[in-house]
């Protein structure tokens, strides 16, 4: 079958899927949806269907993540009149009503309706249900990498093809490898794994490298705590990534690709395996792809739980069956990489963008973003923010727009303190830079990095010294130990920060942190050690007063560091609702209903559960 | 009870699926752990023999990665995420609560072999923190109370 036939068949399948002929239930069943209970909801729909198959000729389908994780589980229902409504926070208990009202009567329920989906017919949809694209979280977004996530069935290759998929590789093979690399250069795409190296340039090096055997690798070892963009793309649209890898292989002259994906992402691995099988069936892998004489195959390698394996030289060691320890460069992987052969490594998001770029052209992509940071970037919004989830925005959008407009502001109306970008390699951007345009250059200017795109919002109730200690605890644990600056540096920094949060720090420690941090930046072998001090250094710059409060006054202003705080209940504000007593894990709270409670300081373990539970602000922390 | 002989036979079936090149080492260990739930000493020697590596070399690789275990885990495995998002939203509280409740620290298994407790660096479900995983089910938006209730239901 040639590509035009494949496309035609896919379009027919897609149109059937899109048409309102069959009522349909689409459940967001990526990992976050599942964590919120999506599978129980699917079970409830299936039971309702089994109970009365005649009345419910619906197809129940799993889709990927739309990015609005805060509202999970998300269920889209296409009723008998073609109207498509997305419901939020769906529970099995809501299923009978949804079945009765929307699926049978064609009357969408306003309660729990988040929005109307695009392309839906109006039917009897009430006006009070907003359109998907008008939702504040969606309005500022521009979807390139996650173009299909949540809209297509990720286990059906036809859905991907019908929405433009694999026309990128078809176009690439008509253009020839050199023109492909030029087009990627023209797009201005920079590596989305974090460092931001121009992708086209990187491909050019691998293409020029001498060697009969070359490799391309997709780095899907997303180990940054707080980042889940790659997982969402792999779960929601695996073909977008695999097509990008195929294009990379074609451009650099590699006939074999690897996807190195962490074992902690079982659903992503499942989707990848299924997608690769479908590619084989359609002829997108094998000896003579689409009749252009290009041969390519893909192997999945599962990570085994080592953060440092996200670093390219470590990752290659791991594929080779060794300890994932980095080595010094040069030689660069482009010349001597996997098994000593020329190798090109790109991140998941980079490759998903590549398939879109080859489909629509480099000039199109270059029209998005800023002068030096082209295109879009996905971010995972997490931490103390109202609307957590996955977003994709044009480069250059302001931090304020991301947090306030898209994310709905800080959780529970608390004050914004900082946002941690780039995971353990990144830094904290404080409130004074709230209007900063988000791109590679501006984030670097304030001492942080783009990183892979994790954004953890930190509010006034979070302690910055504790946040720094948290990241150092992570990097100390994940340092591979090969080079001394990283191995010893992370240990020392963690010890100093632990001392400060425990009330045993001195002002000299701050100078020591800077010295060790600077040494690590200059002397560490790989990116892990070079960036590990960033969380400590950036918080030291922006939140010196908080460090000093711990050191001089033995106080944690945010009320987090356990050794420096004590809890009490303000009898004036306490209504005696018992909420705090119910959550106290050690029964340190006493009192009767409607009477002010009290905390026994001897029993209290200062976990803060009561403070979180109290709706009246009666729990005081000092 | 599996005898050593049974163990060897079932491991040989796994080994046969892989050729003897070194890059099969990690996939092979993963496959064996999937099958046995941990890496028994016999398994390590068989893998070393199959790939013509020293046992030392195999242990050197296996101990580097967090995924591999050298002791059998409990019948139920509880993993509590300590990623950044979970950390700032109370993941530590959930871990402490479970730890207190079942009387073991992360990395241990209860003496009756029922539950093992692990802390993990990040699950990638950062939008629903704090996250805990019981066997293969991921639970989001946990609180110490909710997590304790989940444990109570484990037989």
- Mutation target for B interface from A66, A229, A321: give the one with most B CBs within 10 A: A321
User: What is the rounded average pLDDT of the residues A317-321?
Assistant: 98
The tokens for A420 are 């941690």
pLDDT tens by residue, A588-622:
999 888 889 999 999 998 888 888 788 898 999 88
- Cβ–Cβ below 8 Å for A34 and B25: no
Instruction: Note the Cα A108 to chain centre separation in Å.
Output: 32
A307 DSSP 8-state letter:
G
DSSP for A64-94 reads ---S-GGG-S-EEEE-TT--EEEE-S--GGG
Confidence of residue A587 (pLDDT cuts 50, 70, 90): confident
pLDDT tens by residue, B13-44:
999 999 999 999 999 999 999 999 999 999 99
Query: Which pLDDT value is given to residue A607?
Result: 82
User: Is the backbone of residue A592 left (phi > 0), alpha (psi -120 to 50) or beta?
Assistant: beta
> Alpha-carbon distance A357 to A244, whole Å?
9
- Cβ–Cβ below 8 Å for A228 and B125: yes
Main-chain dihedrals φ then ψ at residue A429, nearest 5 degrees: -100, 120
HSE, CB side, 13 Å, CA atoms: give it for residue B129. Answer: 37
Highest mean pLDDT: which of A106-110, A312-316, A594-598?
Answer: A312-316
Residue A27 has pLDDT above 90, yes or no: yes
The residue with greater pLDDT, A400 or A58, is A400
Q: Is A462 on the interface with B (CB under 8 A)?
A: yes
Query: Which pLDDT value is given to residue A125?
Result: 59
> Alpha-carbon distance B29 to A29, whole Å?
30
pTM, rounded to two decimals: 0.94
User: A260-290 burial string, b = 16+ CB within 10 Å, else e?
Assistant: bbbbbbebbbebbeebbebbeebbbbeeebb
A101 DSSP 8-state letter:
I
Query: Which pLDDT value is given to residue A56?
Result: 64
> Alpha-carbon distance A68 to A59, whole Å?
23
pLDDT tens by residue, A87-99:
999 999 999 999 9
Write the CA distances from A178 to A165, A183, A287, A352, B107, integer angstroms.
Answer: 22, 9, 21, 20, 52
Q: Which of A60-64, A194-198, A578-582, A584-588 has the lowest mean pLDDT?
A: A584-588
Residue in A304, A321, A478 closest to B23 by CB:
A321
Residue in B24, B97, B124 closest to A31 by CB:
B124
The tokens for A300 are 């999945």
Query: Which pLDDT value is given to residue A592?
Result: 87
Query: Which pLDDT value is given to residue B8?
Result: 86
Check if the beta carbon of residue A216 is closer than 8 Å to that of residue A248: yes
pLDDT tens by residue, B40-89:
999 999 999 999 999 999 999 999 999 999 999 999 999 999 988 898 88
Query: Which pLDDT value is given to residue B1?
Result: 46
Residue in B24, B61, B139 closest to A35 by CB:
B139
- Cβ–Cβ below 8 Å for B124 and A231: yes
Q: Which residues pair with A567 in a beta bridge?
A: A621
Q: Is A420 on the interface with B (CB under 8 A)?
A: yes
Residues 192-221 of A with CB under 8 A from B: none
**Residue for token pair 């006054």:** A553
Instruction: Note the Cα A326 to chain centre separation in Å.
Output: 25
* Per-chain mean pLDDT for chain B: 91
Q: Is A227 on the interface with B (CB under 8 A)?
A: yes
């Amino acid at each position: 079958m040639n590509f035009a036939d494949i496309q035609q068949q896919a379009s027919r399948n897609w149109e059937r899927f899109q048409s309102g002929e069959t009522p349909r239930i689409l459940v967001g069943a990526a990992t976050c949806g599942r964590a919120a209970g999506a599978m129980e909801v699917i079970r409830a729909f299936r039971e309702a269907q089994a109970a009365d198959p005649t009345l419910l000729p619906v197809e129940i389908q799993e889709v990927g993540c739309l990015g609005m994780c805060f509202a999970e589980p998300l269920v889209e229902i296409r009723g008998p009149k073609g109207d498509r409504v997305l419901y939020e926070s769906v529970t099995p208990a809501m299923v009978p009503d949804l079945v009765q009202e929307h699926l049978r009567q064609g009357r969408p329920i306003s309660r729990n309706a988040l929005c109307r989906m695009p392309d839906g017919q109006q039917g009897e949809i009430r006006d009070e249900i907003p359109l998907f694209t008008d939702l504040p979280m969606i309005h500022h977004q521009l979807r390139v990498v996650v173009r299909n996530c949540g809209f297509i069935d990720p286990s059906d290759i036809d859905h991907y093809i019908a929405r433009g998929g694999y026309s990128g590789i078809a176009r690439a093979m008509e253009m020839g490898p050199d023109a492909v690399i030029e087009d990627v250069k023209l797009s201005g795409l920079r590596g989305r794994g974090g460092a931001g190296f121009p992708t086209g340039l990187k491909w050019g090096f691998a293409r020029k490298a001498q060697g009969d055997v070359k490799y391309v690798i997709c780095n899907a070892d997303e180990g940054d705590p707080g980042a889940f963009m790659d997982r969402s793309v792999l779960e929601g649209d695996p073909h977008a990534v695999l097509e990008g890898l195929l294009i990379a292989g074609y451009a650099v002259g590699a006939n074999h690709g690897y996807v190195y994906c962490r074992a902690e992402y079982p659903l992503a691995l499942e989707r990848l395996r299924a997608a690769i099988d479908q590619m084989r069936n359609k002829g997108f892998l094998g000896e003579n792809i689409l009749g252009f004489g290009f041969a390519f195959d893909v192997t999945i390698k599962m990570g085994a739980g080592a953060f440092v394996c996200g670093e390219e030289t470590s990752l290659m060691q791991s594929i080779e069956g060794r300890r994932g320890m980095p080595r010094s460069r040069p030689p660069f992987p482009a010349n001597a990489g996997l098994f000593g052969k020329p190798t090109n490594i790109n991140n998941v998001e980079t490759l998903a963008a590549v398939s879109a770029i080859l489909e629509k052209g480099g000039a199109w992509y270059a029209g998005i973003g800023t002068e030096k940071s082209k295109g879009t970037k996905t971010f995972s919004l997490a931490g103390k923010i109202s609307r957590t989830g996955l977003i994709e925005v044009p480069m250059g959008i302001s931090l304020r727009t991301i947090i306030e407009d898209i994310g709905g502001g800080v959780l529970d109306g608390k004050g914004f303190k900082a946002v941690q970008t780039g995971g353990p390699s990144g830094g904290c951007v404080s409130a004074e830079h709230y209007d900063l345009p988000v791109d590679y250059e501006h984030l670097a200017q304030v001492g942080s990095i783009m990183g892979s795109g994790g954004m953890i919002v930190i509010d006034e109730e979070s302690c910055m010294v504790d946040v720094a200690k948290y990241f150092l605890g992570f990097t100390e644990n994940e340092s591979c130990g090969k080079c001394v600056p990283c191995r010893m540096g992370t240990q020392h920094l963690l010890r100093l920060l632990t001392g400060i949060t425990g009330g045993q720090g001195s002002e000299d420690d701050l100078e020591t942190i800077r010295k060790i941090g600077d040494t690590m930046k200059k002397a560490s072998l790989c990116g892990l050690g070079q960036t590990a001090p960033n969380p400590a250094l950036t918080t030291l710059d922006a939140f010196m007063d908080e460090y000093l409060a711990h050191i001089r006054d033995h106080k944690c202003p945010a009320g987090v560091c356990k050794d420096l705080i004590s809890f009490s209940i303000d009898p004036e504000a306490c209504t005696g609702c018992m909420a705090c007593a119910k959550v106290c894990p050690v029964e340190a709270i006493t009192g009767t209903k409607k009477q002010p409670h009290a905390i026994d300081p001897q029993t209290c373990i200062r976990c803060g559960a009561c403070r979180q539970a109290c709706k009246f602000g009666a729990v005081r922390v000092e | 009870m599996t005898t050593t002989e049974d163990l060897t036979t079932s491991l040989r079936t796994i080994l046969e699926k892989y050729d003897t090149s070194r890059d099969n080492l990690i996939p092979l260990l993963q496959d064996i752990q999937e099958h046995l739930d941990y890496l028994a000493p016999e398994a390590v020697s068989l893998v070393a023999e199959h790939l013509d590596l020293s046992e030392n070399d195999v242990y050197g690789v296996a101990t580097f990665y967090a995924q591999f275990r050298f002791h059998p885990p409990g019948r139920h495995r509880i993993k509590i995420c300590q990623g950044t998002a979970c950390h700032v939203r109370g993941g530590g509280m959930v871990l402490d609560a479970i730890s207190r409740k079942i009387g073991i620290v992360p990395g241990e298994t209860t003496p009756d072999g029922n539950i093992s407790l692990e802390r993990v660096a990040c699950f990638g479900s950062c939008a629903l923190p704090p996250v805990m995983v019981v066997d293969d089910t991921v639970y989001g938006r946990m609180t110490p109370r909710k997590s304790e209730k989940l444990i109570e239901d484990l037989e």
